[in-house]
Structure 1
Amino acid sequence: MLYERWSKAEDSYIPAKREATAYLDQPPHTGEIEAAIKAINKKAATGLDGIPARRVNQIPIDDLQQFIRLVWINTKLPRQLVDMKVKPIPKSLPRTTVGNTRPITIPSTVMKIINQVILQHITPYIEPHLLPQQHAYRKGRGTATAVAELFTKFNHSGQTLLLLDLSKAFDTVNHTALFAALRAATIPSKEYNLIRDQYLDAEVRVQWAKRYAEPFSLTNGIRQGCTLSTTLFNLVEAERERKCRIRMQRIPYEVVMYADDKAVILDDESLVQRVLDVNQQTAAEYGMYQNNSKTMQLRLDRNATEIKTVKWMGILLDNKLSMNQEVEYRIEKARNAARDYTQAVKTIPPSMINIAIRINGACAIILPHLTYLWKEIPFTPQQRATLIDTATQLLAKVFDGTSGVTATSILNHVHNITKGLTPRLKQLTSLETLMPTPMEDQAATKENELADWAGGTDIIYARPDQPMETLPDEGSLQIPKLLSRRKMRTPRSSAQGTNHTLRRRESCLPQPLKPHHRPLVLVVTSTHLRSIT
């Protein structure tokens, strides 16, 4: 199915290279390369080159800069960097069906660095071509700004909300339309040519159940997982929306866009079909397919007697915009999360999980369900009070019998989170009001010990006459076995004068991880450097 989806475009045209301008297309300097290395996700999966992202800091910056300079001067990428691994990620059940998966491409680590440098160069050229209504993958924007804009525009009775659905949008973008949008953005020639080489005669290898399928050519689609994919897709969607506006000049409407999710707000319900037809036509011109059967429609009526709901960005919107259904939905999810967390903790021995981990886990699992986009959604004061009371009661039930945690500390912690903040998993306030001070010191000591354990190995470069070696992704380090419990007998105390035996158990602590001594071979040798000159 992935082969049919990505190799269906037989007449896809990729234009020729551009002529470079000397004063605009200089190779990146050391600062840009260091910034690109810092921006890479160190927990990302390993590509076909076999270099783990967590080891990228051990590559000498001088060698990496020399290689990128050769790539920039010759405007040519080695084939080993262009080809990528694809891993389908299940979206829903059944997981054995390819249609229910999202294919994520995993480029090589060196290619990630090059693409990060390219992204830094082309962002100032692409950003002016994007629309203010686009909120995905842009600095200073996100789901919070998209939801806030929707509630600002969709608040009058009689308005109609259309939630358009694009099927497999990233995987079906036509390459001809993609490079036409890049040429219109007037990005520098070097960056344009390097992006072009990544889509010209590129092959992908699908990994499924630890096995690889036969490689096949990628003739359409934007590769999800690539550093440039989100920016390129935003550019294509901006060009497509401009075409829609040209063809619907006499139709007044508002739009809120987040990646491939598009919300259209109309004042006249009779124009719904016209908007659907135009969006479907423009999607087909860019190789995408709009599934009208999954398109949701909601008409705002404050006096409605029958409640209808649609889901957008994880939020339940009702036709009265009362948000009562959203509050009930959040409470139900939080209760289910608290129940599952309590059952999971019961199966773990107390010696393997301390109070600090219990508190962190409960707050991170339960609270986001209740406080998601707390500031942007127009909840009433009564609804906010209901959510706060639910959060306090659930945490009190989970922490029942936990030493050092009181009802007052739980209530203070919930109030600190809901003080006009936008609570997200990474933005939850500190847990000082819940965790006692000794536990924090103990957790800090363990973090320092783990940092000392995580020692890396030096990279040993291959000689020019050696063939390229691809190292398999060994995954994360194995968890060491716990120490065996031993019973210890204390001697009789003469002062007490009693004949009894005290027993104590040693705490089960994991042994420090031993660093791997296996040398890491850099994939790009000097032989491959000369092959691109």
Structure 2
Amino acid sequence: MRIVSYNSRGLRLGNGAGDRARRIVVDKLLEDVDILCLQETMLPKQNLDRLNSFHCNFFGAGESTTDLSSGIIQGRIPGGVAILWHKDYDPFISVVRLNVDWCIAVKIVMHGKVFMILNIYMPYESQQNEDEYLAKLGFLSSFISQCEFNCVFIVGDMNADISDTRSTFGQHLIQFCVNNNLVLTSKERLPADSHTYVSEAWHSTSWLDHCICTEDAHECISRVEILYSLATTDHIPVSLVVNCESLPVLLQHQSPSHTEKLTWAKVSVEDIRKYYLLSDCSLRSVNVHKETLQCRDVNCEHMEHRLHLCTLYQNIVDSLIIASEFLCQKGATKFKPLPGWSEHAYALHAESRAAYKAWAAAGKPKSGSILESKKAANVKFKNAVRYIKRNEQTMRANSLANKLKNNDVSEFWKELKRSCISKQLLPASINGVSGDKNIVEAWRNHFSRIFNCVNSERFNLGNINYNHGMIVRADEVRLAIEKMSLNKACGPDQLSAEHMKYASCRAQVLLSLCFTGFLKHGILPDHMLSVLLVPIVKEKTGKISCIDNYRPIAMASVLSKVFEHILLERLQNFITTTENQFGFKGKLSTDLCIYALKETVSKYMRHNTSVFMCFLDASKAFDRVNHQKLFIKLQNRGVPSYLVRILHFWYSHQLMQVKWGTEVSEPFSVSNGVRQGGILSPVLFNLYLDELSVTLNASKTGCLVGDRLVNHLIYADDLVLMSPYSAGLQQLLRACAKYGEQFDILFNPKKSVVMIAATKGDLKLNFPSFNLTNQVLEVVSKVKYLGHILRSDLCDDEDIKRQCGKLYMQANTLARNFGMCSDPVKVSLFRSFCTPLYTAHLWCNYSKVVMKKLQVAYQDAFRILMKLPRWTSASHMFVTSNIPTFHALLRLFMYKFICRLSLSANAVVRALSSLSYSDTRYSSVLFKHWNNCLYGL
């Protein structure tokens, strides 16, 4: 398929000699093209229908900026876009209207391949157009992130000269591609000296017309060229040839019709009471073997006892499932009412059914009053259904508004979440393997290699002594159940958290007996240890058929999570970690970790000292945890032997399966790694890394804050090292490499980077190279750390630009999905999705111009969502909607963060923020900025 993009500078639709002469390039292109994307068509809305009759072999669709019926039009019509496609492709093409006048798209579904072509025309480069340009990039980001399929081609006149490093729009376009993991195909496939525009006034050249693709789309392009031979006007056509055979095939997998689904959110209060009574009745019949439960031999190996405990566990699970069977409905036969059904169609449906039954009871007469009554009732019902379908969006919006008005916040967010769920499309092949059974086997082999890649020696605990902690009380089970999150997917045992929450209290008593028996005998049933892995895509714009573009979601049994909560309470006092670890700890978060890093570096730079930082990447750190070494660490911490024994049994007997579509693989064993998403996994991983933190603290090299050494910070598996000396950083790197080799942590030198926060006097110095496992690390000037863009000069402009793009994307996403909602609903959505400006309170070193752009983006985001014109007063619209203005929002973030600092018990944070520990706060640029913003000091 050949696709050509061309800025026509006015498309003449007539058949006169003058019109044909003006469109000579377009006519030439139509001789040898399948899809032609035109920009600046300059057509009014009244002429767009003529695109279908423009050429005998082509159909077309377009968007216009001008409606002739709106008034007298002066001058030429600006902008406009159109797509023309060959009639041979018409059965496969559907036009996608994006409700904007600068972009139009076509969706092509052909032989199981699905892809989309977007034709865009962006504003020309000027300072007054920059905000509009960023807003349109945000629109594209939003559209791509919500696209159901992953092959997208974006072509058109983007007015971004990527050949000129001084081009602001060119830099914006390149950053847009980086942020969205897109490929700027025109830059990748064409020479650096290419151009698509020749200025008629200055005879200078620019590279303004481009092609941007997702990775899969990029791989399918066999040739890209600029048609210089057709350069009769200022713009030059760009052609690309797509090999459609190489496009990935996407399949929609549906659950079999016989599967039963239980949606607890739709269960009535009466049904929950009935479930409680049924579960109580069912659990009464569970047989409890007193001899097994009263056994006090903690080294008991009686097989009958083990069988009794596993049977007790399975009987509890079966009893709860049986008690909930009446709540289940067949997935295929379940009726999903449309919004507005109760108000507009429910009564009419009942009337229609009653009229039909009366007509059937009368012998189905061919005439008469009974037949007429049936017809009339049927017509009323069908009209009501048509009305509901025509106004579905409005009624859904009204439903959300009513829930918000009635202060039913929980139901409001549930319905909002349901409205955003899209059907999952899976590729027909993964790494060249096709067929669901073959693919699921490939996934099984892939994950089996990952979870069995570390050589681990056999762990022998020996006999243990009795401990009162083995006794699990019913109230412990109740508290563990209360901590469970609701509305989550069922595990392999088909139980959900709601099964436990709404069940009879008898379940808590039986589970306490069961868990006590497990701890005494050091065993767990196979069904409790089963884990289901579901691969999900990491990057929608990446290669959908590449196995490395997926990460697994682990689905464990609900009762195993309850048991994990109980074990966690017993482990808490034994698994404390150093103050350098910020991950998975109460009252600590990513922004506090970023604050600690920036403040430490800033302190040294104020004292005219450079700081060397290394951001280490640990490849699959959670998956490479050595079980035997983990258990030894637990023993060294003084963890009771019965807890080490149960964890050892758990990890050594755990089985995993992979689900792909409707296929489930055979189970495989696991010999290394802690399951991501598990209740215990984060704290066990923190413990596994803690000895490295202790080693680094003992190295006596790094940054000093007061009398505290701060040479590293850890958030989960994200590790950053810092030292005011190059030799000091290399010493820390050697310590990490040694620990990684000893404990099977694979630090990746290709993804690990060094950043030097150099003072003005040190900028021209040639610093030594830094090595990790005998490989030289790359030195960068900026890095994305925990979602925050950090520059070597501590300037916050890049991070503010990141937030600016995110705001535009969020606003466009909300406007597209909830544009029909009432104003109160939109205000609530804006407050939830657009006001949380991540790490905004940590910005203090920025240019006023960049911050002003973010303020404009914040205001424009609200205007986009509320469909207000750009000249609407910002202060007025925020005050009337009870939304904080931009600067008021920043002050609120600052105040809340200062309060968190004052309450933090973390030693690193206290050393930086408390006057009782150091004088850093006195000279802190960030604190001075906060005081100036909050108090005018």
TM-score, normalised by the number of residues in structure 2: 0.41
**Alpha-carbon distance between aligned partners in 2 of 1:191 and 1:255, rounded to the nearest angstrom:** 31
Which residue matches 1:114? 563
- Selected match of 1:209 from 661, 664, 673: 661
1:142 to 2:589 alignment: yes
- For residue 380 of structure 1, report the CA deviation from its aligned partner: 5.7
Query: Relative to structure 1, is the Cα distance of residues 17 and 363 closer, same or farther in structure 2, using a 3 angstrom cutoff?
Result: farther
| Residue pairs, 1:346-425, within 5 angstroms | 346=819, 350=820, 353-368=821-836, 371-378=837-844, 382=848, 387-401=854-868, 406-409=877-880, 412-414=883-885, 417-421=889-893
Which residue matches 2:637? 185
Q: Is the 8 A contact 2:737 2:747 kept in 1?
A: yes
- Selected match of 1:259 from 700, 713, 716: 716
Which residue matches 1:242? 694
Query: Relative to structure 1, is the Cα distance of residues 69 and 222 closer, same or farther in structure 2, using a 3 angstrom cutoff?
Result: same
Identity over aligned pairs, percent: 18
**Alpha-carbon distance between aligned partners in 2 of 1:392 and 1:379, rounded to the nearest angstrom:** 22
**Alpha-carbon distance between aligned partners in 1 of 2:861 and 2:473, rounded to the nearest angstrom:** 53
- Selected match of 1:131 from 533, 555, 578: 578
1:292 is matched by which residue type in structure 2?
A: P
Query: Relative to structure 1, is the Cα distance of residues 390 and 401 closer, same or farther in structure 2, using a 3 angstrom cutoff?
Result: closer
Q: Is the 8 A contact 2:613 2:721 kept in 1?
A: yes
1:305-341 deviations in whole A, cap 9, x for unaligned? Answer: 9992111011111111121121122212212332343
**Alpha-carbon distance between aligned partners in 2 of 1:379 and 1:204, rounded to the nearest angstrom:** 49
Note the residue ranges of structure 2 that are not aligned, 5 or more in a row.
1-445, 704-709, 765-778, 897-937
Query: Relative to structure 1, is the Cα distance of residues 133 and 39 closer, same or farther in structure 2, using a 3 angstrom cutoff?
Result: same
- Selected match of 1:29 from 467, 473, 476: 473
Which residue matches 1:282? 739
Query: Relative to structure 1, is the Cα distance of residues 11 and 62 closer, same or farther in structure 2, using a 3 angstrom cutoff?
Result: closer
Which residue matches 2:529? 82
**Alpha-carbon distance between aligned partners in 2 of 1:15 and 1:423, rounded to the nearest angstrom:** 53
1:118-172 deviations in whole A, cap 9, x for unaligned? Answer: 0011011112xx0101011111111122112112211123111110000100011
**Alpha-carbon distance between aligned partners in 2 of 1:73 and 1:307, rounded to the nearest angstrom:** 54
Which residue matches 1:514? none
1:17-67 deviations in whole A, cap 9, x for unaligned? Answer: 5513434x2412232211111111223332211102232212332222232
| Residue pairs, 1:333-352, within 5 angstroms | 333-346=806-819, 350=820
**Alpha-carbon distance between aligned partners in 1 of 2:514 and 2:843, rounded to the nearest angstrom:** 49
Note the residue ranges of structure 1 that are not aligned, 5 or more in a row.
425-533
Which structure has more helix as a fraction of its residues? 2
1:13 to 2:450 alignment: no
Q: Secondary structure at the match of 1:166?
A: coil
- For residue 210 of structure 1, report the CA deviation from its aligned partner: 3.0
| Residue pairs, 1:409-448, within 5 angstroms | 409=880, 412-414=883-885, 417-421=889-893
Q: Which moved more, 1:269-278 or 1:221-230?
A: 269-278
Which structure has more strand as a fraction of its residues? 2
Q: Which moved more, 1:405-414 or 1:136-145?
A: 405-414
**Alpha-carbon distance between aligned partners in 1 of 2:798 and 2:881, rounded to the nearest angstrom:** 26
Which residue matches 2:547? 98
2:840 is matched by which residue type in structure 1?
A: W
Query: Relative to structure 1, is the Cα distance of residues 241 and 307 closer, same or farther in structure 2, using a 3 angstrom cutoff?
Result: closer
Q: Is the 8 A contact 1:7 1:218 kept in 2?
A: yes
Q: Is the 8 A contact 1:302 1:319 kept in 2?
A: no
TM-score, normalised by the number of residues in structure 1: 0.71
- For residue 376 of structure 1, report the CA deviation from its aligned partner: 3.8
Query: Relative to structure 1, is the Cα distance of residues 10 and 238 closer, same or farther in structure 2, using a 3 angstrom cutoff?
Result: closer
Query: Relative to structure 1, is the Cα distance of residues 230 and 95 closer, same or farther in structure 2, using a 3 angstrom cutoff?
Result: farther
1:389-426 deviations in whole A, cap 9, x for unaligned? Answer: 531332134213599x93433585235543333799xx
Q: Is the 8 A contact 1:256 1:262 kept in 2?
A: yes
- For residue 84 of structure 1, report the CA deviation from its aligned partner: 1.5
**Alpha-carbon distance between aligned partners in 1 of 2:748 and 2:860, rounded to the nearest angstrom:** 43
1:52 is matched by which residue type in structure 2?
A: S
**Alpha-carbon distance between aligned partners in 2 of 1:409 and 1:379, rounded to the nearest angstrom:** 32
1:78 is matched by which residue type in structure 2?
A: P
**Alpha-carbon distance between aligned partners in 2 of 1:80 and 1:20, rounded to the nearest angstrom:** 27
Q: Is the 8 A contact 2:533 2:657 kept in 1?
A: yes
Q: Secondary structure at the match of 2:567?
A: helix
Greater RCO, 1 or 2 (C-alpha within 8 Å, sep 6+)? 1
**Alpha-carbon distance between aligned partners in 1 of 2:479 and 2:686, rounded to the nearest angstrom:** 23
**Alpha-carbon distance between aligned partners in 1 of 2:824 and 2:868, rounded to the nearest angstrom:** 14
- For residue 265 of structure 1, report the CA deviation from its aligned partner: 0.9
1:2 to 2:447 alignment: yes
**Alpha-carbon distance between aligned partners in 1 of 2:546 and 2:459, rounded to the nearest angstrom:** 32
1:264-295 deviations in whole A, cap 9, x for unaligned? Answer: 11111244444333312311221221001111
- Selected match of 2:494 from 50, 58, 67: 50
Which residue matches 1:175? 627
| Residue pairs, 1:303-322, within 5 angstroms | 303=760, 308-322=781-795
Q: Is the 8 A contact 1:171 1:222 kept in 2?
A: yes
**Alpha-carbon distance between aligned partners in 1 of 2:749 and 2:858, rounded to the nearest angstrom:** 39
- For residue 218 of structure 1, report the CA deviation from its aligned partner: 0.3
- Structure (1 or 2) with the larger CA radius of gyration: 2
**Alpha-carbon distance between aligned partners in 2 of 1:103 and 1:307, rounded to the nearest angstrom:** 31
Q: Which moved more, 1:180-189 or 1:353-362?
A: 353-362
**Alpha-carbon distance between aligned partners in 1 of 2:856 and 2:495, rounded to the nearest angstrom:** 49
Q: Is the 8 A contact 2:702 2:722 kept in 1?
A: no
Query: Relative to structure 1, is the Cα distance of residues 335 and 77 closer, same or farther in structure 2, using a 3 angstrom cutoff?
Result: same
**Alpha-carbon distance between aligned partners in 1 of 2:697 and 2:641, rounded to the nearest angstrom:** 30
**Alpha-carbon distance between aligned partners in 1 of 2:637 and 2:716, rounded to the nearest angstrom:** 19
- For residue 378 of structure 1, report the CA deviation from its aligned partner: 3.6
**Alpha-carbon distance between aligned partners in 2 of 1:15 and 1:384, rounded to the nearest angstrom:** 60
**Alpha-carbon distance between aligned partners in 2 of 1:138 and 1:192, rounded to the nearest angstrom:** 22
Q: Is the 8 A contact 1:37 1:57 kept in 2?
A: yes
**Alpha-carbon distance between aligned partners in 1 of 2:693 and 2:669, rounded to the nearest angstrom:** 29
Q: Which moved more, 1:94-103 or 1:221-230?
A: 94-103
* RMSD across aligned positions (CA): 2.9
